[in-house]
Amino acid sequence: MASLVKPDRELYLTLPSNDSSIVSFPNNTNHHWTNQLPHPIELEGEWEVGLSQITLPTESKVKEYLDTLSDDDPIMFTSNAVWVKDIGSGTSARLDITVFYKDIKDANIQTVFDLLKVLFDTDAEKRAWNMERNYVTKHVFRVIYNEVNNDVKITAGHLGTDTATYLHIANNMKVLLRKELCLKFNWVEEKTLSSGHVRPANGVNLLSDFRNPDQGWKNTYRARYSALWNTPFGLEDITDFYGEAYIRFHLEELAYTFTNTINSSYKKGTISRALYAYSSLCAPTITGDQTTDLLRSVRYKPGLNETFTYEPTHIHYKPVRTSNISTIETGIEYLSTLGDDDILLRMRNMLFAPTLQTIFTTHVTYKDIKGVEIITTYDLLDILFRKALQLQAWNMDKDYTIKAAFKVNLDDTSGDVTLSAGHVPTDQVTFNNIANNMQLLLRVDMCEKFGWIKQHSTFDNKPIFINGPNLTSFFRNENQGWSKLYDLRMGSSYKWPYGLEYVKYIDYVNNSKQTNFCRFHLEELDYKFTNTKENTSKKGNTLRSLFVYSSLCQPTITGSNTTDMLREITYKPGLNQTHIFEPRKLTYKPVRISQIYTIETGISESEANSTDYVDFNEGPTILTLHLRKIVK
């Protein structure tokens, strides 16, 4: 055995997860590993250990995907029609472009938004390079970048709507992306039809709307959902193109919006959170009802191409557990209450065809939105309404249009979301049609939680709702006002005197599950949801002080009171992030052992569970510890 090393007063230990210790510990990973030391260490007297520095690999899904590609791997294929100038509309050619990984690999790609922009910008550049003299890009799909919402939209909506144009787009305008790419970033998911056939459908990060809202689908519902039809949702599975599987986005009928392009770039989002470092060097720490080897918490902000390095301003020391060391082990609310099939929104609209009309009802469940980044109430309303319109479109038949549907206006600056049927005429027939056929229902518990409604009274054991503090309403037609007399609206038998109605819905498809909804009566009123960014946190999102008390503390006199206050901290609430407070006065932890032979390391998500490991990408994790002797 190698001779013992006996440090005098201090030493630094750098513990990479990818060193030769893998020979002795083949199960080492970059979130939990054991290091075999070249020389055992013996600590004489009492020692403490603290975290001096830690370096973590990236959590980027974008980098993880791009690292699987080779230079000649095609990522995107497009087709467009180009025309010769001044010779006539019949003189055209189809120009096909392929974007390979080698075309983009040197670009600065931090997020999914960056990836899409680089792909489409490279496509446009290569198209220009490959055009003949006198050709112009007359019939080319458009790419619209929304850098406020970080959305990317592809559309042919600027082109005509006649049959010839429809066929021209279908035959000559194509966008294909690698299927594995579409699945990884949740643009596409595989959906099983009633026929048993599997077809690609929109994933949670892809929204679609009609290229021409006044036209709708060109093909019937029955045809689109038949076993022989390949594109019921506008997406086609191309199984062997360049030897790979691709998804084609059919632009003749739909426009597509890639959403959530920042948050989906990372395995667990972009928000700062806490990680916890554990080490076998530490004396055990009691955390609630758990005893752990917790060394310290680390404020972690994920990055794409760079590793994350944390160097604390002050080192927190903990007692060393033992004096002989040869190995060291180191370890680093509303929506959560819902089930996949719980319905959040129920929408009903009247759809028109040239000779008939029909009523269509749409449900949005938690399953439909749970993969989307939802940080504020504004985000929640945004995705609920956008998903409702997408699901409605999927189930529409040929030539149907949405003429008598309520409108949703989202103001990203103020955070206000307005529902209105004010654009629909105000005659009595229209009023009755809206009352019977244009309906919006939202879950009661959700409406109450975010301050949109509150219970005013009850009738026949059913609640009567009024506006909450975060909902305002106004007449759909200012010149008409209410359609009902005051005495009738306020009568004991009237169910919605304030324009809000309690509705009990039984879902017989899902085990007769009951959901309580609030219906917003759009035939009478328009509604505005307010404070959608401020009301996300229970007490708002402003900076405030919190005070920590402990029965361990000596009593403190605060004014006329004697308390057990430990200290005051500054607190900034966040929805998807953990609040980490780093005090300037430090704590110390004893080292558990005096002889060191190996060092085991783990990186965990949990303060109470050292095996709740973080899912990193490939790459080393490096931990540096500082040990010092306690001088008495």
Q: β-strands 198-202, 622-629: how paired?
A: unpaired
CA distances, 54 to each of 60, 276, 411, 540, 614 (Å): 18, 11, 42, 34, 14
Q: Give the pLDDT of residue 354.
A: 67
What average pLDDT does the segment 469-493 reach? 78
Q: How far apart are CA 204 and CA 366, in angstroms?
A: 11
Helix/strand/coil (H/E/C) assignment for every residue in 205-258: CEEEEECCCCCCECCCHHHHCCCCCCCCCCEEEEEEECCEEEEEECCCCEEEEE
Asked if residue 190 belongs to a domain, the reply is: yes
| Statement to judge: residues 262 and 294 lie in one domain | no
Domain match, 122 and 149 both: yes
Q: What is the mean pLDDT of residues 212-217?
A: 78
The answer to whether residues 132 and 229 belong to one domain is yes
Read off the pLDDT of residues 176-186 as tens digits, 9 standing for 90 and up.
999 999 999 99
The mean pLDDT of 220-227, rounded to a whole number, is: 75
Three-state DSSP at 150 gives coil
Task: Give the pLDDT band (50/70/90) at residue 523.
Answer: confident
In a domain, 317, yes or no: yes
Do 522 and 563 belong together in one domain? no
More confident residue, 353 or 387: 387
Q: Among positive and negative, which fits the CA dihedral 284, 290, 292, 294? A: negative
Same domain as 298, residue 161: no
* Residue where a domain terminates, one of 211, 244, 267: 267
Q: Is residue 187 part of a domain?
A: yes
- pLDDT surpassing 90 at residue 371: no
* Higher-confidence position of 302 and 572: 302
Query: Do residue 303 and residue 436 come from a single domain?
Result: no
Please give the average per-residue pLDDT across 222-238, as a whole number.
81
Count of structural domains, the chain:
3
Note whether 291 and 261 are same-domain residues. Answer: no
Report helix, strand or coil for 124.
helix
| H or E, element range at 62 | helix 61-66
Residue 16 domain-assigned (yes or no): yes
* Domain containing residue 126: 62-267
Domain of residue 13, CATH code? 2.60.120
199 and 73 belong to one structural domain = yes
Is 362 within the bounds of a domain? no
The three-class DSSP label of residue 63 is helix
Neighbours of 551 (CB within 10 A): 6
Same domain, 201 and 88: yes
**Assigned domain for 15 exists:** yes
3-class secondary-structure state, position 86: coil
> Comparing 71-75, 210-214, 550-554, 606-610, which segment has the lowest mean pLDDT?
550-554
At which of 529, 559, 579 does a domain end? 529
Residues 597 and 330: their CA atoms lie apart, in Å, by: 14
**pLDDT beyond 90 at 455:** yes
Q: Which of 498, 529, 560 is the last residue of a domain?
A: 529
Residue 174 in domain? yes
Is 138 a residue whose pLDDT tops 70? no
Are residue 303 and residue 382 in the same domain, yes or no?
no
Which pLDDT does position 101 carry in this prediction? 95
Q: Predicted confidence band at 453 (pLDDT cuts at 50, 70, 90)?
A: very high
Identify whether residues 96 and 245 lie together within a single domain: yes
Q: Is residue 535 part of a domain?
A: no
Same domain, 115 and 99: yes
